[in-house]
Amino acid sequence: MKKYFYNVLLIVCLLLMANCANRGRPSGGPKDVTPPEIVRATPKNFSTNFEGNEIRIYFNEFIKVNNIQKQLIISPPIEPAPEIIPLGTASKYISIKINDTLEPNTTYAFNFGNSIVDNNEGNPYPYYRYVISTGDYIDSLSVKGNIIDATKRQPDDFVSVMLYEIDSTYSDSIVYKENPKYITNTLDSTTNFSINNIKKGTYLLVAMKDENQDNKFQQKADKIGFHNTFITVPSDTTYTIKLFKEKTDDRIIRPRLISGEKIAFGYEGDYKNFDIKLLSKVSDSFNYRITKDPKTDSLNFWYVPRLKTDSLIFKVTNNKNYTEEFTVKISEQSRDTLNITPEPKGSINFSDHFSITGSTPLVDLKKEHITILDKDSTKVDFKTRLDTLSNKYYLEFDKTEKNKYNITFLPNSVTDLFGNSNDTLSYNLSTKEFSDYGNVRVNLKNATYPVIIQLTDDKGDVAFEKISNKPEPIDFRNTTPGQYFLRVIFDTNGNQEYDSGNFLKKQQPERVSYYPEKLDVRSGWDLVQEFILSESDPDPLKN
């Protein structure tokens, strides 16, 4: 019996030791992704005959309010702005203290945006709206509609939709400077919107992809869309708003010398519109070239010879109404060296051209110093072409399938602005068989010409492009196999490029239509695709 007791005691001790040995840090469990919940509000949401000076909203956990100065929209505005607690600390309630008498018989909506988050994980209580009225009823009118994107197949998530009241203080610049009277958001699951609790009146309807969530339009960062005429509430109309990215206004940003005889003119807008003119007096031997920097939004002004001066004065204009003068300080710095970059490398498509790009401005190419030999060592005739802005020399020649080409540049074939030239260069290219590619023919119905027809990838980047001025089959020959989206741009002004809209000019973007399904381009296949365009896309001007 005694032996049995000791055996039991030994087992119990071993179990206790095992339990202690297995102790460690407990698992943290899954991350909390649950937003805070509202347990009550005083007075209740959608209360009428409000006469107090404080509102309290209680939550089931500690919360914080982030960026409340930008996020909170009160419609109509209350001046002076209410005092909001907490700011920067955690609390289980939000207090809104009103420091002035509210207007009688008025519905007030407090739109918190994404400012309310839980204290631990930052999970938001998205777009909470608290509504009260100082009168006997809550304004119940609404504006409904949907958002489309001017160039994308689907619009962005979290698009703000705003109403600005048309009164004696209204101006077009209101979207840049003032908060809207009413605001809602499409969130992340729908393109539809509904702005509620609106009073009768006339409004400007605007949609905005508000990147920094300050409820004001910033051209460089935000997309915008608008109904071109004021709307009247109440209305049974369902509005369609087309969201677009405005072209940034043309301007030059602080030009500066970045290496020997190379001045970088940073820019915003369309670099093709700028004209850079040197105002400082220079000798007759002065020469210059302007190239587009391949990596940055800069135009590079290269010049020779080296100047003995402290500064240069430039005047920059565009083909619109931009004019500005700049003084650039000059110092002695090392010049960039000449490096040659070929494109493409390895395989080349039948419709592509071989090119070389210089790290410094290319000014001369001696064709007689260049040879192109095919796989049979037969010389191939070619033409040359210089694109000064991109700083590329193109070698254009006919290519046959399943062939190999050797391109040789003898020394001094290429010379740059500073008199530097190349050593021997040799590049090898090859072509595939025609059956390795696919062919696509697009037949458009109901098109208004001219149009730009594009095959794009999933991100909307253009892989192939054609321009058509009349009803005709559009052929994309020798297309790399893959899946593409078919996009048609209605080139209204015939400038062979897509033109976006402009809010201040009340200009809507050019119409863009996507074929609803992907095109599957296969090797050795001929795909014929008919695209029946609607008579018109939803037009914000006609709602």
The DSSP code for 287 is E
* CA–CA separation, 51 and 516 (whole Å): 55
C-alpha dihedral, 271 to 275 to 276 to 278, nearest 10°: 180
> 57, 6, 14: which is closest to 36 by C-alpha?
57
Task: Provide the token pair at 277.
Answer: 């003119």
Give the pLDDT confidence score for residue 112 in this predicted structure. 87
Give the pLDDT confidence score for residue 29 in this predicted structure. 54
Give the pLDDT confidence score for residue 114 in this predicted structure. 81
* CA–CA separation, 4 and 8 (whole Å): 6
In the chain, which residues have pLDDT < 70?
A: 1-32, 70, 187-189, 536-543
Give the pLDDT confidence score for residue 319 in this predicted structure. 80
Which CATH number fits the domain 340-432, given the four candidates 2.40.50.140, 3.30.750.24, 3.90.79.10, 2.60.40.1220?
2.60.40.1220
The phi and psi torsions of 369 (rounded to 5 degrees) equal -95, 5
Task: Provide the token pair at 141.
Answer: 């009118």
Give the pLDDT confidence score for residue 75 in this predicted structure. 79
- The domains of the chain are located at 38-133, 141-243, 251-329, 340-432, 436-532
* CA–CA separation, 318 and 269 (whole Å): 10
Task: Provide the token pair at 290.
Answer: 């302007």
Give the pLDDT confidence score for residue 537 in this predicted structure. 57
C-alpha dihedral, 242 to 243 to 247 to 253, nearest 10°: 160
Give the pLDDT confidence score for residue 22 in this predicted structure. 44
Give the pLDDT confidence score for residue 23 in this predicted structure. 43
Give the pLDDT confidence score for residue 185 in this predicted structure. 80
The phi and psi torsions of 90 (rounded to 5 degrees) equal -95, 145
* CA–CA separation, 357 and 341 (whole Å): 5
Give the pLDDT confidence score for residue 7 in this predicted structure. 54
* Topology of the domain covering 251-329: Immunoglobulin-like (2.60.40)
The DSSP code for 5 is H
3-state helix, strand, coil in the chain (%, to 5): 5, 45, 50
> 247, 242, 248: which is closest to 156 by C-alpha?
242
CB atoms within 10 A of CB 268: 15
Which CATH number fits the domain 38-133, given the four candidates 2.60.40.1220, 3.30.800.10, 3.40.228.10, 3.30.565.10?
2.60.40.1220
> 519, 421, 524: which is closest to 477 by C-alpha?
524
| Shared fold status for 38-133 and 141-243 | yes
- Range 141-243 has CATH code 2.60.40.1120: yes
Q: Which helix (H) or strand (E) holds 390?
A: none
> 300, 268, 292: which is closest to 357 by C-alpha?
292
CB 341 within 8 A of CB 295: no
CATH code for the structural domain at 436-532: 2.60.40.1120
* CA–CA separation, 540 and 334 (whole Å): 55
**Per DSSP, which regions of 11-113 are E strands?**
38-42, 54-65, 73-75, 83-85, 91-97, 107-111
By three-state DSSP, how is residue 4 classified? helix
C-alpha dihedral, 290 to 294 to 298 to 300, nearest 10°: -30
Q: How far is CA 263 from CA 316, 318, 325, 373, 378, in A?
A: 13, 18, 14, 40, 44
DSSP structure string for 412-444: TSEEETTS-B---EEEEEE---GGGSEEEEEEE
The phi and psi torsions of 415 (rounded to 5 degrees) equal -125, 140
